[in-house]
Structure 1
Amino acid sequence: MNGQVGLTRRELERELAWMLRSIPDDPRELVKLISQSVVSLLDKNNEAISRGLAQREASGGARGHG
Structure 2
Amino acid sequence: MISLDRPIAFGESQKKELLDEKELHYQKLWIEYFDHTNIKERKNDKLHVQHVPKRYWKYLTEKKML
Smaller-chain TM-score bracket: 0.3 to 0.5
TM-score, length of structure 1 as denominator length: 0.36
Name which structure has the greater RCO, CA cutoff 8 Å, separation 6+: 1
